[in-house]
């Protein structure tokens, strides 16, 4: 693996760990400059194509999902690691479904479930856009449901 600091072509693995989703984190040390860095490996499984509400289709985009979740978590006590974990969880669940195409509603629902556990304010921010809450009464009803 190429060193991100000096671009040297070789590094040695110092430590390896696994997470619950089958991803591998390797701690590496550059053989030239001695800097340490981490690399992540995850299995490449086929992710389904996303069928949007207008019936158009697009490839699953991990970064797009991460960006959307990140916006709803802005200025909240949610770490980048927690956002990455949620994105990975959603992606893994989609892959396990084994379907060639999945509705964008399925992804939105899975994100909503994860955000509800992660941070309720971020959940509400996401819900306002995702569920198109353009009425204060609907918003109030959802807040009351969360508080109950």
pLDDT digits (tens, 9 = 90+) for 18-77: 877 678 999 999 999 999 999 988 776 788 999 998 999 999 999 999 999 999 999 999
14 three-state secondary structure: strand
List the strands of the sheet with 24-30, edge to edge. Answer: 11-18, 24-30, 36-41
pLDDT over 90 at 107, yes or no? yes
Higher pLDDT, 112 or 47: 112
- Encoded tokens for 62: 């991990």
The whole-number pLDDT of residue 28 equals: 96
Residue 77 near residue 52 (C-beta atoms within 8 A):
no
> Containing H/E element for 51?
strand 49-51
The whole-number pLDDT of residue 79 equals: 95
Give the count of beta carbons closer than 10 Å to the beta carbon of residue 127: 23
Predicted TM-score (pTM) above 0.75: no
Residue 66 near residue 83 (C-beta atoms within 8 A):
yes
Residue 101, beta-bridge partner list: 49
Give the count of beta carbons closer than 10 Å to the beta carbon of residue 83: 21
In this prediction, residues 111-127 reach a mean pLDDT of: 93
Residue 87 near residue 69 (C-beta atoms within 8 A):
yes
pLDDT over 80 at 8, yes or no? yes
The whole-number pLDDT of residue 109 equals: 93
- Encoded tokens for 125: 């921010």
pLDDT over 90 at 105, yes or no? yes
Residue 13, beta-bridge partner list: 28
Q: How does the average pLDDT of the chain come out, rounded?
A: 91
The whole-number pLDDT of residue 33 equals: 96
In this prediction, residues 98-115 reach a mean pLDDT of: 93
CA 115 to chain centroid = 11
Higher pLDDT, 118 or 137: 118
pLDDT over 90 at 1, yes or no? no
């Amino acid at each position: 693996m190429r060193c991100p600091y000096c671009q040297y072509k070789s590094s040695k693995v110092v430590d390896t760990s696994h997470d619950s989703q089958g991803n591998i984190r390797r701690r590496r040390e550059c053989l030239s400059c001695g800097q340490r860095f981490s690399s992540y490996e995850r299995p490449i499984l086929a992710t389904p194509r996303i069928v949007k509400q207008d019936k158009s289709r697009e490839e699953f985009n991990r970064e797009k999902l991460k960006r959307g979740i990140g916006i709803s978590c802005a200025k909240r006590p949610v770490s980048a690691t927690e956002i990455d974990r949620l994105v990975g969880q959603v992606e893994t669940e989609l892959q396990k479904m084994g379907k060639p195409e999945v509705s964008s509603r399925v992804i939105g629902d899975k994100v909503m479930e994860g955000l509800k556990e992660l941070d309720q304010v971020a959940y509400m921010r996401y819900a306002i856009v995702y569920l198109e809450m353009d009425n204060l009464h609907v918003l109030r009803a959802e807040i009351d449901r969360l508080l109950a």
